Structure 1
Amino acid sequence: MANDMSGTIDLAVAAIRGADPARFGDPTPCPDFTVAALIDHIASALLLAERSAKREIVPWTEGASPVVAGLDEKDWAHACATQAAATATAWDDPAAWDGDTHMAETPMPAAMIGSLMTAEFALHAWDLAVATGKPLDVTPEVGQAVLDGLVPIAQMGRDGGWFGAEVSVPEGASAWEKALAASGRDPAAR
């Protein structure tokens, strides 16, 4: 599980590093996010995930992520990479996956948060890669981990408006393509 989380964190960091600040105003596959807003959202998710692993209860606040707030956009990738390293380290501790913790102020099983965030980082890495025209190299193992974590919550995500309607994929689609489709993303989008 921790390796999968680290793998998807790496995907997110690679996608952020591949985003040219000149394109920060561009749209993404997430209708509510420009490239800059999506990077800010990923930065917030990285910080919340670290705090969840450390069993910290923190209020959710709207607005710019403390990870990138006040920084020049050219410095966002470095700030996100630094936060990503702290998040990966926190979830590398096997105890982070045990028992209960909080996502912001919401109590949840730690393993559920870990699984949700593993999917979150991978899916938003894909969104960012598509928006910026960059490749995203997802290993079969990470694709399967994301699919395994996503399937149990996909309907809840659709009901909550986080995911779109499931997209059909051809027979023989990879686990990663199935995960994208389950979240309402078209794996063929470029």
Structure 2
Amino acid sequence: MNDFRLLHERAADQFAELLKTVTPERLGDPTPCPEFDVRALLAHVVNSTHWMAFVGEGGDFRAAPTWSEEVADGEWVAVYDRARGRFDRAWADDAKLARTTELPWGTMPGAGAVAGAVMETATHTWDLSKALGHPLVLDPEPAEAVLPIAREALAADRRGEEVPFGPVREAGPDAGAHERLAAWLGREVS
């Protein structure tokens, strides 16, 4: 099995690089996630990164605090760096990868939880990239690595109330890994 911590680092690196291209004027722009504009998407990614760090620190997901912080327009890079640093520290111990971890979608080894964080980061990296007009070439490996996991864990026939993703969309024969992942998770990628 891949060490998903390394893939998370790569996914987080590309999210951070993309984040550097966000100007204050773009924070209100729409994203492929209808419930999020760019600012809300950034807050969601920071919150989910803190949330997964809390779980990695041994916290019960049901007691995880919601991250909330007033973020000045130019501070998103620093805020995300703090969140991902916490995530990296929380999952640094190899023993945590085998530890049983309980999450809202099931009980799994910690490695599965980290894989979920890769999926989250890679998907929202594509969302942000699309919202910004694809200013950077994305590293396909994190998305490629979690696509089989997404297909298994988020089956097309289980969409609805329990699975908060829209119907699977077509990605097209020439679609890259991020587009295939985004389409599987219900995004319109064309």
1:31 Cα deviation from its structure 2 partner? 0.6
Contact 1:167 1:185 in 2 (8 A): yes
Distance 2:116 2:51 in 1: 12
1:165-186 alpha-carbon deviations (Å, 9 max, x no partner): 1112333544333222211123
Structure 2 residues not aligned, in runs of 5+: none
1:124 is aligned to 124
Distance 1:158 1:16 in 2: 30
Which runs of structure 1 show a deviation greater than 6 angstroms over 4 or more consecutive aligned residues?
Answer: none
2:38 is aligned to 35
Distance 2:79 2:71 in 1: 9
1:107 Cα deviation from its structure 2 partner? 6.5
SS in 1 for 2:155: helix
Opposite residue 91 of structure 1, the aligned amino acid is W
> Is the deviation greater in 26-35 or in 8-17?
8-17
Q: Which of 46, 52, 55 matches 2:55? A: 52
1:151 Cα deviation from its structure 2 partner? 1.3
Distance 2:37 2:25 in 1: 12
Contact 1:5 1:91 in 2 (8 A): no
User: Which TM-score applies when normalising by structure 2?
Assistant: 0.82
The alignment covers a number of residue pairs equal to 183
1:88 is aligned to 88
Structure 1 residues not aligned, in runs of 5+: none
1:108 is aligned to 107
Opposite residue 28 of structure 2, the aligned amino acid is G
1:21 is aligned to 24
Opposite residue 75 of structure 2, the aligned amino acid is D
1:187 is aligned to 189
Distance 2:34 2:58 in 1: 32
Root mean square deviation, CA, Å = 2.5
Opposite residue 37 of structure 1, the aligned amino acid is A
2:153 is aligned to 153
1:170 is aligned to 172
Provide closer, same or farther for how the CA distance between residues 92 and 135 of structure 1 changes in structure 2, counting only shifts above 3 A.
farther
1:133 is aligned to 133
Provide closer, same or farther for how the CA distance between residues 137 and 90 of structure 1 changes in structure 2, counting only shifts above 3 A.
farther
Query: Percentage identity across aligned positions?
Result: 25
Distance 1:182 1:70 in 2: 33
Distance 1:161 1:31 in 2: 16
Distance 1:60 1:77 in 2: 23
Contact 1:29 1:130 in 2 (8 A): yes
1:24 Cα deviation from its structure 2 partner? 1.4
Opposite residue 120 of structure 1, the aligned amino acid is E
1:36 Cα deviation from its structure 2 partner? 0.9
Q: Which of 14, 28, 35 matches 1:11? A: 14
Distance 1:169 1:40 in 2: 27
Opposite residue 37 of structure 2, the aligned amino acid is T
